[in-house]
Structure 1
């Protein structure tokens, strides 16, 4: 599988930065190719779920956004194929309608993306990487690398939803020596710095840095496991409205939820379907493919709650010894294979409690990688937020309709995952690689 380790985005001269940008762009394209070359043309053009686009749409959309932002906006070039722009505008056509569009066939989509990339690498070689906001520290190039990796995660979701035999494979995560981990960690009350003003490729919703003061709370050391979630199911958690919000209970009834997506009960045991393979549900892995309503119901059943977004970030970034906020739970160094499960290196989460080298100062593990973690918070702007470089990335999504997820998953590339990175989705979404951990308030009086 792909190497998830990357050079750190240090403030160095233009040549190391150029090398890092090229490496990120090439790594993203290698992953895109791996996700699209493993299936035939029929599979590329099919819509495997109304929740997702055909894989061939994502392939050409990646090229189109790269052309729009880098060749046109940065390079001042004329459009290569202006007639296709509306086809690959994500706001123009909902996913369910995209198969009806006159999309580029697979060979043409690949050729278009390849031609764009060649021109972009030429542009990169000649760009000063400073002087204008889009070019400062290579931001526009970093934004496009993140965009492609985000669509690679989307395409991996499509692979999970795709019927038929497996098209992808990867080794399992390494065995974990978990020892005797405490069930929870204490995060004392007090202020910390949330968000960032210094991460060069951070996106607008991660900014600006601002001080937040929180009461003390306890947080699960690791994400909730499949075994723990099975206890909730066995105790009738899906059948008792007491544990659900009114909206959550209505959705549970309407959608007939009885277990996480892709689970089925057979012969007294739980099985799951994972990338075309049916297998027993491993009890030690973090639970995956649950919606916000399910996560919230479990937390209530357990006598706890979901952490707020600010609580999650403090537990992941704040260093009580120095008072500063780190880039990652372990420090400022980039993710490595012993710190976090990222980059599609594996096609499943590692056992809950893995990666001691990635532990936060408070002792929490797997805050980066493995599963996206639902939080209690709505997706809202930070104080002083400024939409940049376009409103449609974040601004149009702010509001109570969306819940925030944090931390990334095994499907997320390191370039698109950091302690400040914010993801969001509807509380009914389950096809995403989502899990959760729980928290409880602490009375310090």
Structure 2
């Protein structure tokens, strides 16, 4: 294990270690701040097999630093608890055995207090690595950066997983002390923005100085026919018209597998929507509230997004179309940094410009999650990070209201199975 993990993944650069240390403390502190409103009892809950308890996320992200950075690079390092490798290894078969994901909620021990001690132990050990062994720390810099991006991913999962745990609880308790703000803006009319066909370059550049996951490379050429994208996300009000037109009752709009899933799961509306005599309500991290028709419709599966697009006489964009449209735009929007943790209506704008490409919701694309031409996974055990999931999943783009701004790139490829609904996922129409 020690020899295997010293193999450096094929990243583009070695970041300055001093900058990484500053970011390390920021990211680790953000995780604890996001977990602070979650009670000890709630941190133990696993509300479905696809989600994980908050306590497990806090421990697993620490295990990642311990396993891939501290054990191979800090001389004489001893793991906090050897048994944690079994408990908090997610899926790395090259590391050893692990508890199946659906059983993470059974791990009543160790306690949340012990996990807090574990996190402090990891932070102190990394400080020792940097201060006492600067050359070794510099050699581990690329791995430290991967660990930070990995923890950013789990920060988003902490919020989506606890939302499912609280939102499916009979009392629907709140995570935030107050509900997200409700905009009173008028709905922005949907416009179509046109893009020329031709050969485009997509993917992470071979000589870029920015971090990227291995699944974003290599940069390569794609041919696109002329296409159009909606200038904003589809709203709750627009999706409600699909529902009122029998969208959940007619198999005509759905892929066969999607319709079978809808029937089996009994879907009649997006996740967290609740029918009330006075109109639809939805659960937010601030608790239940009336449905805002101007907000983008969220917590959709790929199947629901594709069915709506078909009903609307359109389709979902490919990930290449999305990236071409996003390439020249700044990465800004309603992201984790806003502290809202809830999608917001598109801003009114007079000029024909693209809105909500970054933040608010991950956008389903019609592209299956497969390797780019010439794809090479990271070396060693970390090659399991992305490559093993390149089957039976679809790509999402753009980030959500729970994605950190410094975690996103124009080339970022998120992916989930088509039936997944607990993530902040929505849709943008294409044609």
TM bucket normalised to smaller: 0.7 to 0.9
Distance 1:75 1:173 in 2: 47
Corresponding pairs, count: 403
Unaligned ranges ≥5, structure 1: 1-10, 320-328, 441-445
CA RMSD of aligned residues (A): 2.7
Unaligned ranges ≥5, structure 2: 1-11, 92-97
Once the 2 structures are TM-superposed, how far is the Cα of residue 230 of structure 1 from its aligned partner? Answer: 0.7
Equivalent position of 1:235 in the other structure: 245
Contact 1:71 1:77 in 2 (8 A): no
Deviations along 1:356-395, whole A, 9 cap, x unmatched? 9xx9xx8321111110010001100111111114221111
Distance 2:306 2:137 in 1: 45
Deviations along 1:130-164, whole A, 9 cap, x unmatched? 975xx4xx422221111112111111012211234
Contact 2:73 2:136 in 1 (8 A): no
Deviations along 1:264-285, whole A, 9 cap, x unmatched? 1111511001125110111111
Distance 2:343 2:378 in 1: 33
Equivalent position of 1:374 in the other structure: 364
SS in 1 for 2:420: coil
> Could you say if the C-alpha distance between residues 107 and 229 of structure 1 is closer, same or farther in structure 2, counting changes exceeding 3 Å?
same
* TM-score, reference length from structure 2: 0.86
SS in 1 for 2:242: helix
Within the candidate set 266, 277, 286, 2:287 is matched to 277
**Following superposition of structure 1 onto structure 2, how do residues 209-248 of structure 1 map, counting pairs within 5 Å?**
209-248=219-258
Once the 2 structures are TM-superposed, how far is the Cα of residue 227 of structure 1 from its aligned partner? Answer: 0.9
Distance 2:259 2:161 in 1: 27
Deviations along 1:214-233, whole A, 9 cap, x unmatched? 11100010111111111111
Equivalent position of 1:5 in the other structure: none
Q: Does 1:262 align with 2:272?
A: yes
Q: Does 1:168 align with 2:158?
A: no
Contact 1:160 1:276 in 2 (8 A): no
* TM-score, reference length from structure 1: 0.83
Equivalent position of 1:384 in the other structure: 374
Q: Does 1:145 align with 2:148?
A: yes
Once the 2 structures are TM-superposed, how far is the Cα of residue 31 of structure 1 from its aligned partner? Answer: 2.2
Once the 2 structures are TM-superposed, how far is the Cα of residue 254 of structure 1 from its aligned partner? Answer: 0.7
Question: 370-379 or 390-399, which moves further after superposition?
Answer: 390-399
Contact 1:355 1:366 in 2 (8 A): no
Distance 1:213 1:176 in 2: 41
Equivalent position of 1:322 in the other structure: none
Within the candidate set 144, 157, 161, 1:158 is matched to 161
Question: 293-302 or 64-73, which moves further after superposition?
Answer: 64-73
> Could you say if the C-alpha distance between residues 226 and 180 of structure 1 is closer, same or farther in structure 2, counting changes exceeding 3 Å?
closer
**Following superposition of structure 1 onto structure 2, how do residues 392-407 of structure 1 map, counting pairs within 5 Å?**
392-399=384-391, 401-407=392-398
